[in-house]
Structure 1
Amino acid sequence: MINKKVLAIILGGGQGTRLYPLTEKRSKPAVSIAGKYRLVDIPISNCIHCDIKRMFVLTQFNSASLNRHIKNTYVFSSFSNSFVDILAAEQTPDNKTWYQGTADAVRQSMHHLLNHEFEYALILSGDQLYKMDFNDMLNEHINKGADISVATLPVKPKEATEFGILKTDNESFISSFTEKPSLDKLPGWESEVSEEMKSENRHYLASMGIYIFNKDLLIDILSDPNTIDFGKEIIPQSISTHKVLAYQYEGYWTDIGNVAAFFDANISLTDEVPQFDLFSKSSSVLTRPRILPPSKIYGTRLDRSMIAEGCIINAKEIERSVIGIRSRIGKDTVIRNTYMIGSNHYEDLDELEANRVKGIPSYGVGKRCSINNTIIDKDARIGNDVTINGGPHLEDTEKDTYVIKDGVVVIKSRSMIPDGFIL
């Protein structure tokens, strides 16, 4: 089978400063999503459903929690060749620098990759939300004799200004490229798209940061140490010298590059028919199974919300929110438009009593609170009678216990918000 000739390389990204403070103590692929998954579960699940089961995850920053998650989750049979391995940036006698970009990360890891037989390298991002059949892209790459294939998404004019835009010929090969063009420069950059995309005014092909390279070509291109990035250098430079194919994908896809995008992606999962379907039997998102009890809910009005396992909820109301594993929410609390990531462990009754005596809030959210437009990171403690109302009326700022970005309040991991706090 052709997918046995594929090696997947998942790029963990840089420091993830735009996702700070969610990336303060973890790498981008390790950030929690939908209350129980990690971002890295998305590309890995896509690969496994396509029977691509040899994967490397390239990381550089805060990779300890990602290592634990990968080790505890993706365990294949001892009698198979399947694996998901972490390749953290390393200094060697021949190389004294950290990863300088996406291509440089693959270059520095090449000696590990070449220990495996493969004909095609599937290069993926670790911070995107989508479901995709990579076998369709691979078959088109092979059938059209491409050297490189780039997954593309038809976008509207306003969206096109945020992406690298590709122009294709009548055989879907890329003829030119422009990076984040202004609206007045867009005429002439239209490509042939399906009738459905035309009806939605999505005439421009944006690069999704998903690539297939023929192995020998990848080795040859990366032999030049001056090229450090796929999207900004290698793809544009290869258009005139190699057959670079645009593979059109028309499903849901979002790049979770900043706090606002991360917040919107999670909250949109609560829609009645969300664009990203977590309930599909054939393309489910895979993650580490946890031995947790069912969630207990007392007297709470729930509307358009998702509740992960192991929660104890006494809230008055939860609306359009995602509540993560092991979350505790006190009596008479109202939570709206909030992503509560949850906790790593429970506090037992003795710990709860000891903290009460010391005036330390328990993990989760206390009694009589009002929380809106907020991300509550893991193991945060929010006391009683707390009001947090995020929104565009708030200016971007950073405090010891929280950060505000684009109107979204992010309560930092392991921080403590005292009783009666108002924001």
Structure 2
Amino acid sequence: MSGKRVLAIILGGGQGSRLYPLTATRSKPAVPIAGKYRLVDIPISNCINSEIKRIFVLTQFNSASLNRHIKNTYHFSFFSSAFVDVLAAEQTPGNSTWFQGTADAVRQSMHHFVSHDFDYALILSGDQLYQMDFNEMVSAHIKNKAEISIATIPVNAKDATSFGILKTDKKDAITSFIEKPAAELLPEWTSDTGDDMQKVGRDYLASMGIYIFNRDLLIKLMENPDTNDFGKEIIPQAIDKNRVFSYQYEGYWTDIGNIDSFFDANLGLTDDFPKFDLYCRERTIYTHARMLPTTKISGTILDRTVVADGCIINAGKIEHSVIGVRSRIDAESTVINTYMMGADYYQPLEDIVNPNVVSMGIGARCFIKNAILDKNCCIGDDVRINGGKHLPDCETDTYVVRDGIVVVKKDAIIPNGFII
């Protein structure tokens, strides 16, 4: 499949309130993940690995850091037609509103897309973790003579109520669709997901929010100003009128919808055989190439921990944690079940040794457990952060507690001896 026939459109999502405070100063696709990447790197990398190299990213909230990341990261040959462009919501003479939903975002940006030559629009979400060959989905779309294809994943009954659930006929044509069904309705929505999936109770086909539209149909559907959302309106209305097919995917996929799922997805990378494989040559995840020194570790016990570039670590023990770029952890500190995002820059040495300044990173003799430390946090000496279900949800100037996870805000300063 030639990528020249496909145009990719990545939806940056709305305000990202469920990922707050990580989205307080940045859009959801710009949230750092796995210690050195950003969420948007995942769909972009999947596209590049599938030879799809004309990519638009749609966003409207806090898009400055996303713009900067994409501008600094994705450079293609001057002699190719490849690009990754950010389109922020813009007011025009014919439109003065923000994006009202996923379909409205595509509608408002349509004049940018139609100036390109393509047969198929691949519409992706900017906040999912997965590795997928889109060529296989495009090939199935063409083989089925589909007008719309929806990537689907088998899920269990517990998860089914959070997704759009659909049913198909024997040829994978979608016959019905329901958005986030109530638990009592689920018995009517089981599907033949295959023996392997049914053995583990994954009896429902959920939409992954990944779509392929034929160019002409997408243009036609976008002419109706009353439909704002793909999942709630466009897809259900199209099932009766158009050839809509399911493309069943059975690999690892997770929706980074809230702090809990974000935390689990990151710490899952420390497993011996992580479900999301960053070490696969064929499915490289690309990101901003930083010229950082090697990481230096002294006197530290490390267990089930991944450490990014440019760190200086003198901690006593780090266990089941992800340590991001340029992180500094001082002597005798213990870090458990924590995602430390790292820093955007190095502090001058005179600040680090100044007893009157709380240095960036984690100070000496700290105990940090069940936490997310956003970029550029300054955590003093003898600080104790012990997250867990015993902590009620709350917010202060420097940190937020969600589902027992303590999230220290970007650039926050936590003074010596502070206890959470």
> Do residues 401 (structure 1) and 392 (structure 2) align?
no
CA contact (8 A) 2:152 2:205 kept: yes
Q: Structure 1 CA distance, aligned partners of 2:392 and 2:118? A: 50
Q: What SS does structure 1 have at the residue aligned with 2:283? A: coil
1:171-228 Cα shifts (integer Å, max 9, x gaps): 1111111122222211121222222112111111000000000011001001000100
1:152-179 Cα shifts (integer Å, max 9, x gaps): 0001111111111001111111111112
Q: Which residue of 1 aligns with 2:345?
A: 345
CA contact (8 A) 2:335 2:368 kept: yes
Q: How does 1:42-121 map to 2 (within 5 A)?
A: 42-121=42-121
Q: What SS does structure 1 have at the residue aligned with 2:25? A: coil
Segments of structure 1 that go 5 or more residues without pairing to the other structure are none
CA contact (8 A) 1:147 1:217 kept: yes
> Do residues 368 (structure 1) and 365 (structure 2) align?
yes
Q: Which residue of 1 aligns with 2:240?
A: 240
Q: CA deviation at 1:282?
A: 0.7
Q: How does 1:191-340 map to 2 (within 5 A)?
A: 191-340=191-340
Q: Structure 2 CA distance, aligned partners of 1:12 and 1:157? A: 28
Q: Which residue of 1 aligns with 2:176?
A: 176
> Do residues 417 (structure 1) and 388 (structure 2) align?
no
Q: Structure 2 CA distance, aligned partners of 1:2 and 1:330? A: 51
Q: CA deviation at 1:288?
A: 1.0
> Do residues 136 (structure 1) and 114 (structure 2) align?
no
Q: What SS does structure 1 have at the residue aligned with 2:365? A: coil
Aligned-residue identity in percent: 63
CA contact (8 A) 1:170 1:192 kept: no
Q: CA deviation at 1:348?
A: 1.7
1:70-115 Cα shifts (integer Å, max 9, x gaps): 0110000000000000111100111010111000000000001111
1:371-405 Cα shifts (integer Å, max 9, x gaps): 00000000010000000000111110000000000
Letter in 2 for 1:320: H
Q: Which residue of 2 aligns with 1:166?
A: 166
Q: Structure 2 CA distance, aligned partners of 1:407 and 1:351? A: 33
365, 369, 377: which one pairs with 2:374? 377
Q: Structure 1 CA distance, aligned partners of 2:271 and 2:110? A: 42
CA contact (8 A) 2:351 2:357 kept: no
Q: Structure 2 CA distance, aligned partners of 1:241 and 1:375? A: 46
CA contact (8 A) 2:179 2:231 kept: no
Letter in 2 for 1:363: M
CA contact (8 A) 1:374 1:388 kept: yes
Further displaced range: 65-74 or 190-199: 190-199
Q: CA deviation at 1:287?
A: 0.6
Further displaced range: 14-23 or 196-205: 196-205
Q: Structure 2 CA distance, aligned partners of 1:2 and 1:222? A: 25
Letter in 2 for 1:366: G
Structure 1 outlier segments of 4+, above 6 Å: none
Letter in 2 for 1:346: Y
- TM norm structure 2: 0.99
1:283-326 Cα shifts (integer Å, max 9, x gaps): 01111111000000000000000000000000000000000000
Q: What SS does structure 2 have at the residue aligned with 1:321? A: strand
Letter in 1 for 2:387: G
CA contact (8 A) 2:370 2:386 kept: yes
Q: Structure 1 CA distance, aligned partners of 2:352 and 2:183? A: 57
Q: Structure 1 CA distance, aligned partners of 2:162 and 2:65? A: 31
**Length, aligned pairs only:** 420
Q: Structure 2 CA distance, aligned partners of 1:288 and 1:179? A: 37
Q: CA deviation at 1:360?
A: 2.3
Letter in 1 for 2:14: G
Q: Which residue of 2 aligns with 1:37?
A: 37
Q: Structure 1 CA distance, aligned partners of 2:92 and 2:189? A: 44
Letter in 1 for 2:78: S
CA RMSD of aligned residues (A): 0.8
